[in-house]
Amino acid sequence: MLAIINAHLIMPDHLIPEGILLVEDGRIKDFGEMRLMSVPEGAEVLDAGGAFLGPGLIDIHTHSGGSAWFYEEPGAAARHHLAHGTTSVLPTLYFNLTLQQLLDGVDVVRQAAGTKEGANIRGIYMEGPYLNPKYGADRENNPWKGDIDSKDYQPLIDRATDFIRVWCLAPERPGVLDFVDDVLKKDPNMIFSVAHSEASPDQINAVENLRLATHHTNATGDLVKYPEVRGVCVDETVNYRDDIYAELICDSRGIHVDPYMLRLVLKIKGKSRVILVSDACVFDGPIPPGYDGVTDINFDHAGEIAGSKLTLDRACRNMMVHTGASLVDVFRYASLNPADMLGWKDRGRIKRGAVADLVLTDHWMNISKVLLAGVPQD
Ligand SMILES: [Zn+2]
The string of pLDDT tens digits covering residues 15-29 is: 999 999 999 999 999
In 3D space, the residue among 77, 60, 89, 54 whose CA is nearest the CA of residue 249 turns out to be 60
In the predicted structure, residue 73 carries a pLDDT above the cut 90? yes
Q: Note the residue count of the chain.
A: 378
pLDDT, position 142: 85
Distance 94 CA to ligand 1 centre (A): 8
Judge contact between 213 and 243, C-beta under 8 A.
Answer: no
Q: Give tens-digit pLDDT for 159-198.
A: 999 999 999 999 999 999 999 999 999 999 999 999 999 9
pLDDT value of position 46: 98
Give CA separation, 36 vs 16, 33, 42, 262, in Å: 12, 5, 19, 40
Question: In angstroms, what is the span from residue 113 Cα to ligand 1's centroid?
Answer: 23
Q: How far is the CA of 202 from the centre of ligand 1 (A)?
A: 22
Any idea where the domains of the chain sit in the sequence?
A: 2-52+364-376, 57-344
pLDDT of 106 reads: 97
Q: Rounded to an integer, what distance in angstroms lies between the CA atom of residue 310 and that of residue 301?
A: 19
Q: Reduced to 3 states, what is the DSSP secondary structure of residue 288?
A: coil
Distance 191 CA to ligand 1 centre (A): 16
Q: Residue 257 C-alpha to ligand 1 middle, in angstroms? A: 13
- Whether residue 284 is predicted with pLDDT greater than 60 in this model: the reply is yes
**Which is nearest to 6 in space by CA: 49, 68, 39?**
49
Mean pLDDT for the stretch of residues 108-119: 96
* Whether residue 138 has pLDDT greater than 70: no
What is the CA 341 to chain-centroid distance, rounded? 10
> Percent of the chain beyond pLDDT 70?
99
Q: Strand ranges (DSSP E) for 66-123?
A: 68-69, 86-94
Q: How far is the CA of 165 from the centre of ligand 1 (A)?
A: 16
Ligand 1 midpoint to CA 53 (Å): 32
b vs e for 20-52, b when ≥16 Cβ sit within 10 Å of the residue's Cβ?
Answer: bbbbeeebbbebeebeebeeeeebeebebeebb
Query: What spacing in Å lies between the alpha carbon of 50 and ligand 1's midpoint?
Result: 39
Whole-number pLDDT of residue 307: 79
Helix (H) or strand (E) holding 4: strand 2-10
* pLDDT > 90: percent of the chain: 86
Ligand 1: centre distance to CA 128 (Å): 9
The Å distance, Cα 17 to ligand 1 centre, comes to: 39
Q: How would you class 203 by CB atoms within 10 Å of its CB: exposed for 0-12, middle for 13-18, buried for 19 or more?
A: buried
* Tens digits of residue pLDDT in 298-325: 888 887 777 789 999 999 999 999 999 9
Cα(346) to ligand 1 centroid in Å equals: 28
Going by CATH, does the domain composed of 57-344 fall within 3.20.20.140?
Answer: yes
CA of 360 relative to ligand 1 center, distance in Å: 31
So what's the pLDDT on residue 251?
95
Q: Is the pLDDT of residue 149 over 70?
A: yes
Task: Give the Å distance between the CA of 107 and the centre of ligand 1.
Answer: 22
Ligand 1 centre distance from Cα of residue 216 (Å): 10
pLDDT at 378: 83
pLDDT bin (cut points 50, 70, 90) of residue 285 is: confident
CATH superfamily of 2-52+364-376: Urease, subunit C, domain 1 (2.30.40.10)
Report the distance separating Cα 293 and Cα 252, nearest Å. Answer: 11
Give per-residue pLDDT as tens, 327-368: 999 999 999 999 999 999 999 999 999 999 999 999 999 999
Indicate if the pLDDT at residue 137 is higher than 60: no
101: pLDDT strictly greater than 90: yes
